[in-house]
Amino acid sequence: MKTKGALLWELNSPFKVDEIEVGDPVEDEVQIQVHAAGMCHSDYHLTTGATPIGLPALGGHEGAGVVTKVGKGVTGLAEGDHVILAFIPACGQCPPCLKGFRSLCDRGAVLLGGKAIADGTSRVRAGSHEVSPMNLLGTFAPYMTVHKDSVVKIDPDVPFESAAIMGCAVPTGFGSVTNVAEVQPGDTVAIVGVGGIGMSALQGAVLSGAKHVIAIDPVEFKREQAVKFGATHVYPTMAEAIAPMIDLTYGLMADKTIIAVGEMRGEMIEEAMTLTAKTGTCVVTGMGAMTDVDVKLNLFLFTMLQKTLKGNIFGGGSSHVETPRLVGLYKSGLLKVDEMVTSTYRLEDINDGYQDMLDGKNIRGVIKYTDADW
């Protein structure tokens, strides 16, 4: 079918909304009418080349919509179902999946390659060009054809804007605290960077019973919002957090530190490890450039204070387990997701949305599709 999508044709240039052709679902695939798409910082990393993808690329890996076509061999999904898109289509059969680490499914290796899992061909075209959809999704288009493993059915009463951000920001941030850092009641938790991912991490810390929830962000609006989401203390920088955290914790510091800044840089590791307690864990969720290899870390203290430094992808869980859990928390009123959607945009205004993200105006900006787009 012919539709439109926000394409990246070259690096360091804005997204451009152009006509695209989205293929029909083959075996194991479904077509989805996209109703809302979250603007995650990870799509911005495509525009700078920090995350390399074949060009032209179609952005968007956070989204929610309605199933419109079902390919052969798909069970458990029907036309009209409301769904969330998962950005790792876990196979369930590779070694990491079998060990229970579905967010580390070996299919992760092909997600930026642009070719559909089902048959290895391109599902999106722009004129004569084969297009790489972000994470084999491409939610910056009103329609998408995706593998069934990328799709999680949800209750139809969840608003699409909130459902969309439960595809990446919420599970990645929340799970960084609950699954990866394994925060315990009474812990002191520091969250560095409270955008979409960090504010979800913050809520994970609150709901895990953390005693002190410390949010660190240079943007005043983010710090004000963090307090509304349950932060007990806020600071503009990691350096400015050290002295008050020594007072607050009798010198023990944070049991768990989560780094969720927009652009990860190697020198941040040492700063974050300074905030982290003896035997504490620091989880790195923010992403830097794929080619960056330099990290600043005091190796003596790292060893002698027996600290742990961990990565995190997609909150360390399985989307088919985590999504229902998070939707349940949202519907019970414990998890504030509507409140994280600061502004909505038309697809045509996507670059304004990303500028607002860079300017610190949004917890999460969301593209909303209407009849005019379908």
Ligand X SMILES: NC(=O)c1ccc[n+]([C@@H]2O[C@H](COP(=O)([O-])OP(=O)(O)OC[C@H]3O[C@@H](n4cnc5c(N)ncnc54)[C@H](O)[C@@H]3O)[C@@H](O)[C@H]2O)c1
Give which of Zn ion, ligand X, none residue 26 binds (C-beta under 5 to 8 Å, depending on kind). Answer: none
What DSSP line would sit under 52-88, residue for residue?
---SSEE----EEEEEEEE-TT--S--TT-EEEE-SS
When asked if residue 63 is in the footprint of ligand X (CB under 6 A), the reply is: no
Of residues 216-275, those binding Zn ion (CB under 5 A): none
Binding test (CB under 6 A) with ligand X, winner from 132, 312, 319, 323: 312
User: Per-residue contact track with Zn ion, 163 to 202, x per CB under 5 A?
Assistant: -----x----------------------------------
Q: Please list the alpha-helical segments (H only) found in the chain.
A: 41-48, 95-98, 160-165, 169-175, 196-207, 220-228, 238-248, 267-275, 299-304, 319-331, 350-358
Q: Does residue 64 contact residue 167 with C-beta atoms inside 8 Å?
A: yes
When asked if residue 177 is in the footprint of ligand X (CB under 6 A), the reply is: no
Of residues 12-71, those binding Zn ion (CB under 5 A): 40, 42
Give which of Zn ion, ligand X, none residue 261 binds (C-beta under 5 to 8 Å, depending on kind). Answer: ligand X
When asked if residue 197 is in the footprint of ligand X (CB under 6 A), the reply is: yes
Segment (H or E) for 144: strand 143-147
Give residue for tokens 């992808």: 313
What DSSP line would sit under 292-308, residue for residue?
-------HHHHHHTT-E
Q: Label residue 177 left, alpha or beta by phi (over 0 means left) and psi (-120 to 50 means alpha).
A: alpha
Binding test (CB under 6 A) with ligand X, winner from 7, 163, 168, 213: 168
How far is residue 372's CA from residue 359's CA, in Å, rounded to a whole number? Answer: 29
User: Per-residue contact track with ligand X, 205 to 224, x per CB under 6 A?
Assistant: -----------xxxx--x--
Binding test (CB under 6 A) with ligand X, winner from 261, 283, 337, 366: 261
Give which of Zn ion, ligand X, none residue 198 binds (C-beta under 5 to 8 Å, depending on kind). Answer: ligand X
Residue 106 CB neighbours (<10 A) = 13
Binding test (CB under 5 A) with Zn ion, winner from 32, 39, 105, 126: 105
Binding test (CB under 5 A) with Zn ion, winner from 55, 66, 70, 94: 94
Give which of ligand X, Zn ion, none residue 124 binds (C-beta under 5 to 8 Å, depending on kind). Answer: none
Residue count (the chain)? 374
Cα dihedral sign, 123-127-132-133: negative
Binding test (CB under 6 A) with ligand X, winner from 114, 138, 142, 198: 198
Residue 161 CB neighbours (<10 A) = 21
Q: Which is nearer to ligand X, 67 or 152 (CB)?
A: 152
How far is residue 152's CA from residue 45's CA, in Å, rounded to a whole number? Answer: 25
When asked if residue 172 is in the footprint of ligand X (CB under 6 A), the reply is: yes
| Nearest-approach distance from CB 46 to ligand X, in angstroms | 10
What residues line the site for ligand X (CB under 6 A)? 40-42, 45, 168, 172, 192-198, 216-219, 222, 260-262, 264, 285-287, 312-314, 357, 360
